[in-house]
Amino acid sequence: MSATTRITVTLPTDQVAELKKLTDNVSGYVAEAVARQIRHQLLAEDLRRHQDAHGAFTEKELAEAHARIRGSYGPANRTDTA
C-alpha cells in the first residue's frame, strides 16, 4: 500500500449523498477519480507537446487512435507496412 495523507475535501451535499450510494469506500473512490483525472491531464499535455513538435494529427492517425481505444485495431486493420 502506498503512503497516504489525510485531507479534508468539501463537496456539495447532493454529490456526497450520491457518492455514498455508489460506494462504502469514499476515500478509495475519490482517490481513483483523482488518479484518472491526473492521467487524463498528463496525456493531454503529452499530446499537445507531440503536436507542437510534429504538427496536428491527421484524420487517419485520429481514426487509428480511436480504433485502438475501442479495441478494434489489430494487425488485420493496419494499412502501413512498417
Could you read off the pLDDT of 57-80 as tens digits, one per residue? 999 999 999 999 898 766 554 555
Q: Is the pTM here over 0.75, yes or no?
A: no
DSSP single-letter state for residue 71: T
CA distance 71 to 44: 20
Q: How many whole angstroms separate alpha carbon 2 and alpha carbon 62?
A: 36
Crossing angle, helix 26-54 and helix 13-22, to 10 degrees? 100
Instruction: Please tell me the distance from the alpha carbon of residue 73 to that of residue 64, in angstroms, as a whole number.
Output: 7
Q: Is 80 helix (H, G, I), strand (E, B) or coil?
A: coil
What is the pLDDT, as a whole number, of residue 38?
98
